[in-house]
Structure 1
Amino acid sequence: MLRLLRTIRLGLKNLLLHKLRSLLTMLGIVFGVFSVIAMLAIGEGASRQAQRQVLELGATNIIVISQKPAEGSKSNNAQTQVLQYGILRDDFRRIKQTVNTIVDATPIREFSQPARYMHRNMDVRLVGCTPNYFSVNHLKMDAGRFISHRDQEDTANVCVIGHEVAETLFPGEEPRGKSIRIGNVFYSIVGMTSHRTASAAIGGSMSGQDFDKDVYIPLDTLQSRIGDEVMIITAGSRSSEKVELSQITFRVADAKDVVPTANVIRETLARYHADSNDVDLVVPMELLKQAEQLKVIFNVVLGAIALISLVVGGIGIMNIMLATVTERTREIGIRRALGAKRGDITEQFLTETSVLAGTGGLLGVSLGLLTPVAFSAIRWLAKTAIMDSSVQSSSKMFQMFDGLEPVVAWWTLAVAFGISVFIGILSGIYPALAAAKLDPIEALRHE
């Protein structure tokens, strides 16, 4: 042990003789370790964000979505240009009555509409839903109440508005008790939901949802006041879409029933929608398994990319140690003449490379722990100096970036440090062997 400590002390002394050179050599390892930890932390954060969004859909839920076909079937009257597609109320009743593993079902109808209060207006997502939509989507109330079963039975003209709708249409005012106009119908506001971060799109079926721009009304009220057909006006053209239900969320009691129930629902829908291809099925549990598999692949790819930095740092160590062997040839000859063996020379140079790589690894780990702080600083810089507010609110990519939080896993610290030391030792083997093989007589003659 004393001999090892003496060797380490000698290695440190030799490295400190050339402080700047040792520091520059060490930087390759420092940034290599930092990049490994940072990459894996960002990958872990992105994976947890994706899994959290999937879990928000419910691990025991099965979601059926109306999907607009590329070329929809028109109605018999070509002049009306009515595109009819999606889930039918008959589908809802058929599945709910025949699949006995389903314990709850939440149908909704949604589309964009302009909402107006006095001289203020904004485009909102009008959602016709049932009372249990509140719990299924984990909404919270800021004030008032959500839609009730009594509202549904009475087809009442009441609504619940999202956080941004309240701030836009009623700045500095109390919205409850007031009415907003959507289309030609006025709806009395009975509550406002709290702010909720917009969800990102999942797969190719579910689009992202900004709950803060929602207006909720009873589903029966929507069918009674507006109907299934909605007019769509674009530049120079006008068309209509007829959709009975936009989405149904089915819930089963046990997670083991999710996949069998999803297969039954899929087969049932295929029987009645085989030609139109206008419905799709999203199973959060299947998406969660895919997210976990992607996490492993993502970590492997990011880790491999970051390891390149460590390899470059190792090459730098090898280069410097080879130069050091040349500079210290006479020293090696003197040590050999005084009785040092080849193993002693090899041990000395390997100790120096280990100290160099180990110190760089510790500094890299210290920087890696600051990854969340560095990421927050970059995000703040992007929000304040690069992107304006309009881009931030409209860009789904920025919304995902804004909600991403890197997670530094403890195992990544140990792995990154261990690999840095291993690469340092590996890089020092050849220079150490080259130093040990020097002929003592020739080394003593070296100037």
Structure 2
Amino acid sequence: MFIKRYLHDILIAVEAIIANRLKSILTALGIIFGVAAVISMMAIGNGAEQEILEQIKLVGVNNIVITPSTYSLSDGGGGDGNGQPTAKKFSKGLTLLDVEAIKKIVPTVERISPVISFNYSALLNGISRPVVLEGIDNHYFDLFNMQLAEGSRFNATQAEKGLPVCVVGNNIKEQFFRQQDPIGKYIKCGQIWLKIIGVVERRDFTASASDELGISSSDNKIFIPVQTMLLRFKNRSLIRADEVLNANKNANGNGMVVIYGGPEQKEEPIDTDDNLNQLDKIVVQIKETEQLNNSATLIKRMLLRRHSDLYDFEVTIPELLLKQQQKTKKIFNIVLGVIAGISLVVGGIGIMNIMLASVLERIREIGVRQALGAKQKDIIAQFLSESTLISLTGGIIGIILGVVLSQIITAVFDIKTIVSAFSILIAFGVSVGVGIIFGYLPAKRAAANDPVVSLRS
């Protein structure tokens, strides 16, 4: 009997909504856009957080990255760290000796790898592709959470003796070995034939990570032991004749340097690479996150002492930078959520205003129901059901619109969005709550009408 009674009130509310379709749709618009805004804003927030986590995987956990800074190796151009020139000093830049010193002196080091990078062309069967050739230590794969899809890493003999072996990225395999197993095959890089012993597993790569943190995808790289790079390709710590001539600016003005010493002088291109550091990067992994700042400070002081007090390097902690970004983005997402939530409240106020106006328009209907035996709770149930059904319907439409809007944001603006079940439940629950809260006052006012007065109006 109880259920049947209130079911009758709900049916009357449904009939009233259908009879006033246009007004009901306009009333629901605030809820629709509010719910859609909440879902899409939370989707942007979830996407940003996921992107940060992916970037942390790319830069590695607890890593410290040491890179050369822009300066002149043999003068005070490096400055004292505050932009002030220093007295004339000399530094060899980042070298393998720095790697050994960090291993020996810093007790919190878990792993360390030097990195040397050059742009080359890979050649096989008449196919040539530009690639990045990187000389690394075996620890490099662990530092950046890189897994091998096939084959193996460098063994001790290959690493120590600088043998011509390599591990290639997924794109290299796809471009040169589509229909065959690359393991054991050879590929020419520069003038050296390298034996492929492994293939790196493809990884999703975030472009913003490259811009902000200086990391890049491994898919288009060829990895070789660092000793192979120094012995067989290029060692920037060794001074060559053409570099001496270049440093002395002994050029004829057309981009060629004159080489003497033979029966006929000849011209060769000037090496435009002014980076004289033996290494392009040193990546250090620290045992515990809490030790990152102290370890970075110790490494910085040690390198300053080794580099004649020249700030010819930069020490960065990518994970902490990313976590700071994550904290900033969370605050930004909270602000966006609050703004979207305000639109829901505005939608609720709209429901209340329309329902209050509806009560004034339907005073005679309320009086008739009361005269036929409807109690105050029946009138409250009718008008409360009406406002709740409007907000409920608006919430469902808003959820669909929010999901679609999130997909549009991803497609058009290339912003990663993730719609979670939690955000849908929150938005849906709030929309129902708004209908109940803002519908109660009009329902209470409708029920408070005197039936005699209502029938006379």
Question: How would you bin the TM-score normalised by the shorter chain?
Answer: 0.7 to 0.9
Letter in 1 for 2:63: I
Range moving further from structure 2, 87-96 or 303-312: 303-312
Superposed displacement of residue 128, structure 1:
0.1
- Counterpart for residue 418 of structure 1: 429
Superposed displacement of residue 148, structure 1:
2.1
**Paired residue secondary structure (1:111):** strand
**Paired residue secondary structure (1:188):** strand
**Paired residue secondary structure (1:42):** helix
Match of 1:228 among 228, 236, 240: 236
CA change 1:142–1:345 in 2 (3 A) is closer
1:25-424 correspondence runs (5 A): 25-59=27-61, 61-69=62-70, 72-73=71-72, 87-172=94-179, 174-202=181-209, 206-225=213-232, 226-228=234-236, 238-271=272-305, 275-276=310-311, 278-284=313-319, 286-287=320-321, 289-335=323-369, 348-362=382-396, 364-365=398-399, 367=400, 371=403, 382=411, 401=415, 404=416, 406-410=418-422, 412-424=423-435
**Paired residue secondary structure (2:274):** strand
Kept after mapping to 2: 8 A contact 1:161/1:216: yes
Can you list the C-alpha shifts for 1:159-203, whole angstroms capped at 9, x where unaligned? 222111222244545544444333333323333323222244449
CA change 1:295–1:5 in 2 (3 A) is farther
Letter in 2 for 1:280: V
Can you list the C-alpha shifts for 1:109-133, whole angstroms capped at 9, x where unaligned? 1232232334322221111011222
- Partner Cα distance (1:85, 1:4) in 2: 86
Greater gyration radius: 2
**Paired residue secondary structure (1:122):** strand
Kept after mapping to 2: 8 A contact 1:356/1:424: yes
**Paired residue secondary structure (1:242):** coil
CA change 1:55–1:239 in 2 (3 A) is closer
Can you list the C-alpha shifts for 1:59-111, whole angstroms capped at 9, x where unaligned? 3x332231442xx21658xxxxxx98853333222221111222322222123
Superposed displacement of residue 409, structure 1:
4.2
TM-score in terms of structure 1 length: 0.76
Can you list the C-alpha shifts for 1:298-349, whole angstroms capped at 9, x where unaligned? 4313312432442453354245324423431322344566787888756643
Give 5+ residue unaligned stretches, structure 1: 77-82, 387-396
Identical columns (%): 36
Superposed displacement of residue 356, structure 1:
1.9
- Partner Cα distance (2:177, 2:392) in 1: 60
Kept after mapping to 2: 8 A contact 1:333/1:443: yes
Superposed displacement of residue 251, structure 1:
2.8
- Partner Cα distance (1:241, 1:263) in 2: 25
Superposed displacement of residue 375, structure 1:
5.5
CA change 1:195–1:239 in 2 (3 A) is closer
CA change 1:203–1:224 in 2 (3 A) is closer
- Partner Cα distance (1:407, 1:422) in 2: 21
CA change 1:165–1:41 in 2 (3 A) is same
Q: May I ask how many residue pairs the two structures share in their alignment?
A: 412
- Partner Cα distance (2:129, 2:214) in 1: 20
Kept after mapping to 1: 8 A contact 2:65/2:317: yes
